[in-house]
Amino acid sequence: MSEQPSVSVIIPVWNGQATIGKCLRAIEAQTYPAELTQVLVIDNGSTDDTVLIVRSFPGCTLLTETAPGSYAARNLGLRHASGEIVAFTDADCIPDPEWLERIVDALAQEPRAGVIAGRISTFTDGPMTDAAIFDSLFAFRQQTLASRNQCVTANWASPAAVLREVGPFDAELKSGGDWALAEEIAAAGHPVIYCEKAHVRHPARASADELIGKRRRVAGGNWHKQAGPAGFIRLQRRAAVDLLRKWGGIWSAPGVQLRRKLPVSILALRIWAAYSGELIRLAMGGSAQRS
């Protein structure tokens, strides 16, 4: 890898007119040399003004993936990526100005790394709803994921050579494809390394519907890997244990007011019920959903 390697940034987007401009402005503001940075935005069937907004950024290359799913979109980006390093983020994320610089530094210090899992924090521009509190407590625990050789694509970077060797993502999945590929990369001898300094911010999901939709997508990804009666029982058991752990986390969280803990706990129960119900639907022959 070069002393100052080229970097390709891949951003899938679907109906992201409210957020994609903020994300691309953050990419424009990177301290890493612009001449070494390729920005690929992959539209995945947007019906709003997403494409018009992306086209207003002359430094971006806009691609179109007609197959629904963010992993299919990322795979198209991979086929067009020319950088020695490939960095992924999401259309609603805001990377710090030093994001790419920190990624390059981390890979220089850890030349065996297959994935750099950067820190993700949540923020909200509006009121702190029960859903936002829940998401701020439990979303994007990258350091924990990295310890399990997992990573989410909101803040992921890899040497392009590693992705060519082990990838691409499983495009059939609507959720969980990032964890699966990270585990495969680690199994091939390229570990997942957490990097605190490579930071992006992600908006906290502000509504119960957003959280429930996300959890149903996760159910679809989990079912894809563990379909069958034994997998169904295993996944339901894990979901019940996870609910109990989340209740413990809510009631022990020092930053959450006591009066907010009961409604957030009830929301956790609703999310569990949606996940459990989605597993039942899938077990009865249903197909995984995008949202």
Tens of pLDDT, residue by residue over 44-96, are 999 999 999 999 999 999 999 999 989 999 999 999 999 999 999 999 999 99
In a domain, 32, yes or no: yes
18 and 140 within one domain = yes
Helix locations, the chain, DSSP H: 20-28, 50-55, 70-80, 99-109, 130-138, 142-147, 160-166, 177-187, 208-226, 229-252, 258-283
Structure tokens at 27: 């990419």
Amino acid at 52: L
105 and 125 within one domain = yes
CA angle (105, 75, 117) in 5-degree steps: 30
Q: How confident is the model at residue 162 (pLDDT cuts 50, 70, 90)?
A: very high
CATH code for the domain in which residue 185 is found:
3.90.550.10
Q: Which residue range(s) make up the domain with 220?
A: 208-283
- Give buried/exposed letters for 196-210 (b at 16+ CB in 10 A, else e): eebbbbbbbbbebeb
Q: How many domains does the chain have?
A: 2
48 and 118 within one domain = yes
H or E element, residue 38: strand 37-43
In a domain, 18, yes or no: yes
Contacts of 252 (CB under 8 A, 6+ apart): none
88 and 33 within one domain = yes
Give whichever of 82-96, 132-146, 171-185, 202-216 has the largest mean pLDDT: 82-96
